[in-house]
Structure formats: C-alpha cells, structure tokens
Amino acid sequence: MVDTGRADAAERDRPGAPVRVPTRLARPFLGLAVAALVAGCSGTTTSDTGTGEARPAPAAAETATDAADSTPLAAPAARAATDATEADEDEDAPRVGTLVEDFPVELLPVPEDAVLLVTSAVPVGESPVREVSLNLRTQMSVGAVMTLYRDVLTEAGFTEVTPPADESGPTADATFTRSGGDELVTIGVLDVDGGRTLTLGGRVRTADDGG
C-alpha cells in the first residue's frame, strides 16, 4: 500500500511542482479579496473627504452668486417711483398752520390777525373748480367775520341762500352759491374762549381759472 503522505511530500519537493493551498485556508483569503474589490469600486463614488457628502457644482454656485448680485439693481428705480408718488400727494395735501399754495385769498380773504389751523385747495379733476377749506381763529366778532366774507362773495357774484340770522350771538352760519350752484361756499363761526373759530369749505373757481 502506498503511503499518501509521503507521496504528497515527494510531489511538493519536486522542482517546478505547483503549490497547493488547503481548502480550509483558501476560503478566508477569497473573502478578503472580494471585500477589497467592493471597497475599491465604492470608493470611486465618495468625496475626497471620505464623508460621502457631495460637493456643489462650481457652475451652480457661480450662477447663484451672480443672481444675488444682480437683484439690488431694481431698488433705485423703485425708490424713485415712490418718491415721485409721495411728492404728488404732498402737493395737494392740507397744510397745518400755514396757507396752502394757490388758495384763492382774493375770493376768500384771511383776517389780518388770523391764526391758521388747516387750509387746502385741491383741483377737481380736469375742471377749473377747486375744493377749498379754511379753518382759523380770530379776535374779530362773529358779525364782523360774517360781514367780511359776505361782502367779498356777493361782490364776486355769489348769492346768499340762507335766511338772514342774528349775528350778534356766539354763532353764525351762511351758504353762498354761484354759477347755477356749481360753486358753493359754506361758512360757520363759533365764539370759543374769547375768540372766534371760522370753518369754511366749498368749491369755487379762482380768478386764474376764469371765475
């Protein structure tokens, strides 16, 4: 009977004979080789830092920066439009403590000692008519205030449409019209704390408007 152990040893000792790895040792080496191959393939999909986080594309970052830099270019135009709108509104806004521009003082005079409260004179659309208001305080008597405006308005062609009233008391009011009622002025005077408060409002054509 041939001794297989000696035969195997003789076979290994023979020059040029292939080296055989026992089956129980070959399996672990095979597993390590496969793991190394998989790790090498997956490594091509990770970032340089090894964290697995993808870096943003340079083109996208540059595009976002350019868009952010270009956004404020519209701001000056928007501010200019807002300033122009505010200027137009302020031009017709009532004035406190002073006489508004273009107020028709030739038709609605202001007493010399008057303390102006609020005034306004706003054009009505494209027509020559203006909406006017006048609020002031004066030391003139109720009768004197009413006489001042009655004389000026009736001389300008206005007609008083309210019945005569006793103007020696603490209050008085009157309404005047012209141009078939297209122009209207109402006046009220009130005696308060030793002075008179005048409230005047209506719509009129001024001399510059062809009134």
Q: How confident is the model at residue 37 (pLDDT cuts 50, 70, 90)?
A: very low
Under 8 Å between Cβ of 210 and 153? no
Domains of the chain, residue spans? 22-68, 94-209
Average pLDDT over residues 125-145: 92
Compute CA distances 29 → 22, 39, 89, whole Å: 11, 16, 89
Q: Above 90 in pLDDT, residue 10?
A: no
- With 70 as the cut, is the pLDDT of residue 19 above it? no
The CATH number of 94-209, from 3.30.420, 3.30.310, 1.10.10, 3.30.70, is 3.30.310
Q: How far apart are CA 77 and CA 104, in angstroms?
A: 37
Which of the four pLDDT bands, split at 50, 70 and 90, describes residue 208?
low
d(CA 185, CA 206): 13
Residue 159 has pLDDT above 90, yes or no: yes
The confidence band for 55, taking pLDDT boundaries of 50, 70 and 90, is low
- Its pTM stands at 0.57
In whole numbers, what is the pLDDT of the chain averaged over residues? 73
Banded pLDDT at 109 (limits 50, 70, 90): very high
Find out whether 184 and 200 touch, Cβ atoms under 8 Å.
Answer: no
Which whole number is the average pLDDT over 63-68?
A: 50
Mean pLDDT of 81-89: 47
Q: How confident is the model at residue 81 (pLDDT cuts 50, 70, 90)?
A: very low
Single-letter amino acid, residue 7: A
Task: Determine how β-strand 129-138 pairs with β-strand 159-160.
Answer: unpaired
Compute the average pLDDT of residues 65-93.
Answer: 51
Question: Which of 63-72, 94-103, 173-182 bottoms out in mean pLDDT, i.e. has the lowest?
Answer: 63-72
Model confidence at 114: pLDDT above 70 = yes
Q: Please check the confidence at residue 33 and state whether its pLDDT lies above 80.
A: no
Task: Please compute the mean of the pLDDT values over residues 31-60 and round it to a whole number.
Answer: 48
With beta carbons less than 8 A apart as the criterion, state whether 132 and 202 touch: yes
For residues 80 and 60, give the distance between their C-alpha atoms in angstroms, rounded to a whole number. Answer: 33
Name every residue whose Cβ is closer than 8 Å to that of residue 147 and which is 6 or more positions away in sequence.
167
Mean pLDDT of 135-153: 96
